[in-house]
Every structure is written in structure tokens, then in C-alpha cells.
Structure 1
């Protein structure tokens, strides 16, 4: 992907992210066993994911002797799975979005409310940092990521799409507000990627 999604530009990091999205609270040893990577490589990949706000760490509580393990989980925005990095990034994106709306006097054209607009600010910034050029339709609640930079990755496309959807949903959740990812619109064209958002209670 063009210079972007530095946190998951490596398929090994995508695979680690998939494992953590499927089941939280995994130790490095489990990730090593699941991926076949060296422990130091796994630690480096996990650190990159933590730096991006996609993964959180917690120290295992032990009742027996021995050094407690560090357990890793996907940052989902749930009460026990929020990333301070992701929350800070979302707050900064919201401030920039508010400033741009004031400067350009933009009317969103939709009654989304401030929280939802701030969620979109965070999502657009995260996708932009990842090398995407997202086109948001605030009325239809869609994010068009066409052309999909992963269209050529047929062997891993399902995993890549699943991980990206999970990451987008976590960005929205950690920004705080009513929007969540509803899914990807079906298409016969592998380069076409339109993500459908949904407002809770809608």
C-alpha cells in the first residue's frame, strides 16, 4: 500500500492483528506459535501496532510465583480495551475537523451531530495515514475506498478486508459516538471497496 498503513503494511502484522481481533489477551508465545515468527519479530510487530493505537497491552494477574506475562488485545474501544493512543489521535482529528469546518464554513449536508462528525474525522484521518483516499458520503453513510489497494492480493484479500473492517470499527468506537461499520458493499469488481456505516438506533 502506498506509503501507508505503516502499522499493517506488513502481512505478518495483519495476521497478528487478525489473531488479536479473533481472541484477545494473547501472550507473545501464543502469537509466535500461531505465526511461526521469531519472538523478537513478533514483539516488534506488536509494538508497531500499539504505537498506531490498534493494540493494547496488560500485565497478567498471577496468584502463583513467576513473572507475569504481558497479554495483548485488539483495541476495540470497549471499556477494558481502549487505547490511549487511539483516543488521543481521535481527539486531535476532531479538533482539526472542527477547525476546517470553521475555516471553510462547510455544512455537512447531513444531521449527523457533533459526535458522529468527530468519528468521521478520526476515520478519515486514520485511513489517510494508511495511504487510502477515502470519499465519505455523510448522507448515505458510506466510505468509498476505491480503488482497493489490496485487489491484487487475492490470496489474502479476505483476511485483509476483515482486519481493515475491524480496525475501522475500532477507530469509530474509540472516537466515541453512534457510528459503527455495517459491512462492505458487495461488488463483482475486486478494486471496488465501499464501506457502509450504520448509526446505532437507526
Structure 2
């Protein structure tokens, strides 16, 4: 039986997951707000935010003030939507698509029946999940992504809903950033032994049916 690899990348720390969850649920957070919500020192929050920015998961903007005083830095999730997109995330998506195109030129059989845009989205999604410590198995007929075993399996059971929610939103952002018809609809199972992402196709194409 395969074992999950070590949790790695910018969201390897549950503290960073908590911070990311907060900026996903509301944009334009300040370090003070995040420090109060997590109980972490402001300098620790700042360090975690920088890791998330470097990973393409968070964007920082300077607030526009109409009163005197030093403007604050506001932090939001990089969702892939216009105005909420990270240059790091855009570069990752482009690089993943380029590597995928090269592979499919060498091995044409590696292409799916979904089309180039959807293939590029899957390229970006797979690289994101591997960076996060998963060993994703994609079924491009049923449009599912098997994430078992989960590298977060050792997390406290009460933490799993937040972990799964954060990862789902990240996957939605990665697919949106890559651009194409595929979306991440939900995570099924959410246990250490069963965790499957159901993808959707905005073109209304039915997959996996006779």
C-alpha cells in the first residue's frame, strides 16, 4: 500500500493553512487581524504570509487611504479571478502547460479527449497537488482526482474540514488561473483512506457515460 509523502510546500504548516483559510473567507486582512484570529505573534504571521505570497497563494496590496497616516498592507487570497491573481500563480500555470505540451508532443497518447485548455488545467492542478505533498491520480473520463493517501492524514479530525476546504479553494484557483472549462466542485470522503476531488466541465459535456 502506498504511503503519503511528507507534507511540503508553502502550506506544509497548519498555521499557514489557518491564515490562508482566513484570507480565503474574507479579503483585505491586516496582519493585526490575522494575529488576533490565530493567536500568533505578528512577526510570525508576517513570515507565514511571505511564504504564502512566494507560493502564489496570497496577494498583498497597499490600502488606499483618504486620511493621514501610514497605509496598511492588506492580504487576500489569490483565487485566479481577475484582480485577485498572483504573478507567481500565473507563471506556475504557464510553465505547467508548457511542460505538458512538450510531453504530449513526445507522447501523443498522453493527451486526453478533453482538449488542450483542459489538459493545461490538469497539468497545473497536478503540479500544484504534487507540490503540496499529494500523489494525485487523475481520471480524465470520470473527471475525478484521487488524493488518497492524504499527507494530512495525521491531522486532528477537527482540523480536517478546514484543511479540505482550503485545498478545494486552492484547486479552484489553480484551475481558474490556468484558464479552461474545468472546475473543482467538491471533495468527497475527506478521510485518510478516501479523498476524491470531483471536477466539473463548464461546457456541459457529460463524461464517463456510455
What's the TM-score, normalizing by structure 2? 0.91
Q: The residue matched to 1:198 in structure 2 has which SS?
A: strand
SS of 2:67 mapped into structure 1: coil
SS at match of 1:197: strand
- Regions of 4+ moved over 4 Å: none
Q: Partners in 2 of 1:82 and 1:5 — Cα distance?
A: 22
SS in 1 for 2:82: coil
Whether 2:69 is the aligned partner of 1:75: answer no
Structure 2 unaligned blocks of 5 or more: 205-210
Show the counterpart of 1:164. 167
2:50 paired residue among 32, 47, 55: 47
**Alignment RMSD, CA only?**
1.4
Gapped regions of structure 1 (runs ≥ 5):
none
Mapped pair 1:192 → 2:194: yes
Q: How does 1:128-147 map to 2 (within 5 A)?
A: 128-147=130-149
Equivalent positions of 1:1-202 (< 5 A) are 2-110=5-113, 112-153=114-155, 154-186=157-189, 190-202=192-204
Number of aligned positions between the proteins: 200
The residue that corresponds to 2:207 in the other structure is none
Distance in 2, matches of 1:181 and 1:109, equals 18
Q: 1:178, 1:122 → 2: CA distance?
A: 14
